[in-house]
Amino acid sequence: MIEQDLKQLQERSIYIMREAKEKFGNVAALWSMGKDSTAMLALARKAFLGKVPFPIIHIDNGIDFPETYKFRQELAKKWKLDLIVAESEIKPELSGYSCCGENKTIALKKLMKERGFDALIVSIRRDEHGIRAKERYMSPRNRDFKWNYKEQPAELWNDYSSKLDDKGHIRVHPLLDWNEIDIWNFTKREKVPINPLYKSKNGYRYRSLGCTHCTSPVKSNAKGIDGIINELRSTKTEERAGRDQDKEKEYVMEKLRALGYM
């Protein structure tokens, strides 16, 4: 895994977040209390000089880890976040991804409609999975959250996308260029608070955090961030090992994206 220059990475991320706030009236960001979206919040505080000037959304299916709920509570208070918890149902009949996928999208759509957000900051990274490698810094979604990946707009220099239509929104991806290890290097350097589940306990830790249903721990003795970084430097496995969804049919991820699932 390549460790990139943090200055180079931060510059682009800060630029993109400031650009989103300039271009779009009503901006919000998704937060899952994971290392990526929390790093995004830390970057927002840098971009906007100590505050996060837009609402933060947690799409909550109710079966997140208790530690995650505690972390959410504490950091929202510490950083004075304008937190919106959008509750999603768990409907097993919908698909194999009953706790996430469509259920979460439904909750998000409802919230977007209520609040009329024009742009949504989502903390995905290009190195996470092959499909996400096709994303752009700003990517339009139409009213039904569909993403027509075949007609991606040109993203030249600093000319980022505009909305497709009045009822759609733009997905903003400030962390697109970041690798997993860059997030940890940044977290360490900036002393960004992290969910304790990332740290090893009883020989296991969570490398990537979803809800309790979809996430399995991996073997590890990394008790702190330094340990995590050392492990990443020597590892040859993908980050999402331990997230069941990815072991499903090959092309499903892509279909989920097209449906609006983050």
Instruction: Tell me which residues in 98-117 interact with other proteins (CB under 8 A).
Output: 98-99
Encoded one letter per residue, x for contact with other proteins by CB under 8 A and - for no contact, window 21-40 reads xxx-----------------
Which amino acid type is present at position 177? D
By CB under 8 A, residue 166 contacts other proteins: no
By CB under 8 A, residue 55 contacts other proteins: no
By CB under 8 A, residue 163 contacts other proteins: no
| 189: exposed, middle or buried (Cβ count in 10 Å: 0-12, 13-18, 19+) | exposed
Give the nearest distance from C-beta 96 to other proteins in angstroms. 5
By CB under 8 A, residue 91 contacts other proteins: yes
Give the nearest distance from C-beta 130 to other proteins in angstroms. 3
212 alpha-carbon distance from chain centroid: 17
By CB under 8 A, residue 63 contacts other proteins: yes
Residue in 134, 167, 189, 233 binding other proteins, rule: CB under 8 A: 134
Q: Tell me the C-alpha distance between 236 and 213, whole Å.
A: 25
Of 3, 62, 29, which Cα lies nearest the Cα of 211? 62
Judged by beta carbon, residue 196 or residue 227, the one nearer other proteins is: 196
Encoded one letter per residue, x for contact with other proteins by CB under 8 A and - for no contact, window 172-201 reads -------x-----------------x---x
By CB under 8 A, residue 155 contacts other proteins: yes
Q: Tell me the C-alpha distance between 220 and 205, whole Å.
A: 6
Q: Within a 13 Å sphere around the CA of 230, how many CA atoms are in the beta-carbon half?
A: 9
Region near other proteins per CB under 8 A, out of 29-37, 82-90, 114-122, 167-175: 82-90
Judged by beta carbon, residue 113 or residue 201, the one nearer other proteins is: 201
By CB under 8 A, residue 126 contacts other proteins: yes
Residues 6+ apart with CB under 8 A from 41: 29, 31, 52, 56, 75, 79, 81
CA separation (Å) from 91 to 33, 57, 94, 103, 159? 23, 21, 6, 7, 41
Region near other proteins per CB under 8 A, out of 32-40, 87-95, 117-125, 220-228: 87-95
Q: Phi and psi at residue 208, in whole multiples of 5°?
A: -135, 130
Region near other proteins per CB under 8 A, out of 4-12, 32-40, 112-120, 225-233: 4-12
| 113: exposed, middle or buried (Cβ count in 10 Å: 0-12, 13-18, 19+) | exposed
The DSSP code for 201 is B
Q: Within a 13 Å sphere around the CA of 225, how many CA atoms are in the beta-carbon half?
A: 17
Residue in 78, 158, 165, 234 binding other proteins, rule: CB under 8 A: 158
Judged by beta carbon, residue 58 or residue 169, the one nearer other proteins is: 58
Residue in 5, 114, 144, 226 binding other proteins, rule: CB under 8 A: 5
- Kind and range of the H or E run holding 218: strand 218-219
